[in-house]
Amino acid sequence: MAIAAPGQLNLNEVPSWGSRSVDCFEKLEQIGEGTYGQVYMAREIKTGEIVALKKIRMDNEREGFPITAIREIKILKKLHHDNVINLKEIVTSPGPEKDEQGRPDGNKYKGGIYMVFEYMDHDLTGLADRPGMRFSVAQIKCYMKQLLTGLHYCHVNQVLHRDIKGSNLLIDNEGNLKLADFGLARSFSNDHNANLTNRVITLWYRPPELLLGATKYGPAVDMWSVGCIFAELLHGKPIFPGKDEPEQLNKIFELCGAPDEVNWPGVSKIPWYNNFKPTRPLKKRLRDVFRHFDRHALELLEKMLTLDPSQRISAKDALDAEYFWTDPLPCDPKSLPKYESSHEFQTKKKRQQQRQHEENAKRQKLQHPQQHTRLPPIQQSGQAHSQMRPGPNQPIHGSQPPVATGPSHHYGKPRGPSGGPSRYPPGGNPGGGYNHPSRGAQGGGGGYSSGPYPQGRGAPYGSSGMPGAGPRGGGSGYGVGGPNYPQNGPYGGSAAGRGSNMMGGNRNQQYGWQQ
Amino acid sequence: MAANFWTSSHYKQLLDQEDVDVVSPLDREKGITLEDFKLIKMQMANYISKLAQHVKVRQRVVATAVTYMRRVYTKKSMSEYDPRLVAPTCLYLASKAEESTVQAKLLVFYIKKFYNDDKYRYEIKDILEMEMKILEALNYYLVVYHPYRSLSQLLQDAGLSDISMTQVTWGVVNDTYKMDLALVHPPHLIALACIYIASVHRDKDTTAWFEELRVDMNVVSLPDVSASFPYDYL
């Protein structure tokens, strides 16, 4: 094997160690965009295998290789489970990063590192968003069971995911569900003694203890998110679409009751409890609001959405819940219908078409303010899902034919405003104006740029001006980022979350606090 | 770190001593012998440990950094990868991987402050560039298991968990990083060997305990694990 000149990497050899060049892959198209970097669907030239390439952005790094990437790699290299996304390898690109003299400019790897993942066809949010999609009870159980199995595995291996949400749950056409995007994940010790940042987890899925400022926490934070997803699957829409932290807490308290020393011993010692404690007494209304749920589902949901993290059900116990052992039983993943995977068809042309549609939709939106809102994605499925949530069934995306065959990654599909009853008051989207002065000082909680989470991650309104991004709270809006790809989701920059990142939620800022 | 050592890359990548003791052709051309090779690595392990004291990071970071450095030199030559740059860079990378981040500029500051030799002087950008090369040489395998974790448990089990015994054993474990042991043996075995050495040194009889463990004493007392340990000074 040839030896590279001093100071040069030997990129041509395919060594038994070290990494291959990204040239081993042929990029097919961009399928995600994050502050972290872009995500591409690619084909391995030698084998023809389709993979997802997630680029690790280096150009803004003052401290070398990002610690978040280090964490993600460390964690992914250690987790091997059917319900956890598989990091196949890491490849580098020699890159064009040379200065005028053709010399490496100090860091020749700038922008040239990719994580190679197995390719997955959908993510849960995207799938649920498909027009006319209806999940059966057995299907929901099947997904929930896989989610819990994967999460249990992470927790046993002392890894907190810290960003469980629909767009980070990837689903392939075999019905397999895998946890993805470990960009916010980190390992924990069982004593929960380390101080961890509370600026994690997308706002809508963030548990009350983090919202109250706890810095010592454990696996229960992920279980709250699971509860939110569970409820969302059953209910047809996100249950806590808060637009900022105070509102988020309020929504939680309104449903789960107000915390006190009785139902949550120690809550008054959590840092921001006094700032956020509800001014009026609130009763737990969970059973009432979701009375139409199946009994076992409600029972399990209640255990997941328990305010006190120490009383919240663990992934292991949740798997033992009656819910999963009563008819209809969780179905075999393989028996699930195969949904059309769309990336293959996502040509640039189509993207432009979609953009065009979005433009039109945007204009439409401007003309008809009442159409500001579109239905929340999952609601669509929920609505289709009439046995669970009867509701007006209305054409969704009716105006966007290309969309109908669209991908079920939510990024692939622009969500135009669909006419319809709006759950949210028109004008409820202050166009990215959620920046809270009080939070601003903290850099919006570090990584998430300014303002509360959904926007740091999402910021969909601001720059990318997505027409369709409507109703969903802070408009982290399930990643209707830009026209098309800004999905950021699953493989995507984790900081990216659901929104587009065009505003560049500054991932870098994260490093400081995220330890 | 990970719950299961046996499925880890660390376990899968354990090497035979013969594979570790290979001087790369490039270095050999320059006249570096195996003995030199080992001494340079020991010297660099010391360097890392000194630097770590200045920037105040835990011993575990040092242990990880030294392991990285030793792994790098199973793949790369010292001619291409200057140990005087690799050493601080490994510390820098290990500090991130072990969640005790040290800023590159701080490292550079202490290097300049304490090492007058120009050959040690590297700038931030050198460290950052070398970091990428090291990551690649390590094939991004960053998880390292150390004997420290099992040490206190084992000592307790052996009924040797008094402070003085713990200290001696801990020190012996620290010293194992002066050799390539971590690349060759699993951490629990190193921990046992260290307990063995420390107990012999302190005249503690551990025969019964080791018998009960059913650990293969031939392995524990294998020359490279314990007997040949440079312990004249204990």
- pLDDT beyond 80 at A515: no
Q: Do B80 and A6 touch (CB under 8 A)?
A: yes
On the 0-12 / 13-18 / 19+ scale of CB atoms within 10 A, A90 is buried
What are the boundaries of each domain within chain B? 16-137, 147-227
A154-198 pLDDT, tens digit per residue, is 999 999 999 999 989 999 989 999 999 898 898 888 777 788 888
A414-472 pLDDT, tens digit per residue, is 333 333 333 333 333 333 333 343 433 333 333 333 333 333 333 333 333 333 333 33
Q: Chain B within 8 Å of A86 (Cβ-Cβ)?
A: no
Residue A117: per-residue pLDDT = 94
Residue A466: per-residue pLDDT = 37
Residues of A in Cβ contact (< 8 Å) with B93: 64-65, 70
Q: ipTM > 0.95?
A: no
Element (H, E) at A52: strand A50-56
Residues of B in Cβ contact (< 8 Å) with A106: 125, 128-129
Percentage above 70 pLDDT, chain A: 57
Q: Report residue A426 as tokens.
A: 């028109």
Q: Which of A342-356, A487-501, B164-178 has the lowest mean pLDDT?
A: A487-501
**CATH number 3.60.20.10 given to B16-137:** no
Residue B200: per-residue pLDDT = 86
A317-326 pLDDT, tens digit per residue, is 999 999 999 9
Residue A360: per-residue pLDDT = 66
φ, ψ of residue B163 in degrees (nearest 5): -60, -45
User: Average pLDDT, whole number, for chain A?
Assistant: 70
The residues, ordered by sequence, that sit 6+ positions from A150 with a Cβ below 8 Å of its Cβ are A81, A82, A83, A84, A177, A178, A179
The residues, ordered by sequence, that sit 6+ positions from A322 with a Cβ below 8 Å of its Cβ are A296, A299, A300
pLDDT category of residue A376 using cuts at 50, 70 and 90: very low
B174: closest CA of chain A, how far (Å): 23
Residue A253: per-residue pLDDT = 95
Q: Chain A within 8 Å of B60 (Cβ-Cβ)?
A: no
Give the sheet arrangement for strand A177-179, strand by strand: A122-123, A169-171, A177-179
Q: Do A109 and B99 touch (CB under 8 A)?
A: no
Other C-beta atoms closer than 10 Å to the C-beta of A127 total: 26
Provide the CATH topology of domain B147-227.
Answer: Cyclin A; domain 1 (1.10.472)
Residue B13: per-residue pLDDT = 79
Extract the residue ranges of chain B whose pLDDT is less than 70: 1-3, 218-234
A20 to chain B: nearest residue by CA?
A: B136
CA distance B233 to B166: 18
What mean pLDDT is predicted for residues A220-230?
97
What mean pLDDT is predicted for residues A372-383?
35
Q: Which of A18, A108, A109 sits opposite B137 (nearest CB)?
A: A18
**Cα–Cα nearest to A277, from A303, A250, A242, A305:** A250
Residue A337: per-residue pLDDT = 82
Residue A112: per-residue pLDDT = 76
What mean pLDDT is predicted for residues A30-54?
84
CA distance A499 to A509: 18
B150: closest CA of chain A, how far (Å): 15
Residue B218: per-residue pLDDT = 66
Asked if residue A54 belongs to a known ligand binding site, the reply is yes
The rounded Cα A424 to chain-centroid distance in angstroms is 22
Residue A95: per-residue pLDDT = 55
Residue A119: per-residue pLDDT = 93
Does A15 or A175 have the greater pLDDT score?
A175
What SS3 state is found at A89? strand
Does A485 or B59 have the greater pLDDT score?
B59
Residue A18: per-residue pLDDT = 55
Q: Report residue B49 as tokens.
A: 């440990």
φ, ψ of residue A84 in degrees (nearest 5): -125, 135
CA distance A276 to A247: 10
Angle between helices A220-235 and A295-304 (to 10 degrees): 150
* Chains A–B, number of C-beta pairs less than 8 Å apart: 90
B135 to chain A: nearest residue by CA?
A: A18
Answer CATH for A19-344+372-405 from 1.10.510.10, 3.30.1360.120, 3.40.50.300, 1.10.8.60? 1.10.510.10
A86-131 pLDDT, tens digit per residue, is 999 998 876 554 444 444 444 445 557 899 999 998 889 888 887 7
- pLDDT beyond 90 at A302: yes
Residues of A in Cβ contact (< 8 Å) with B8: 78
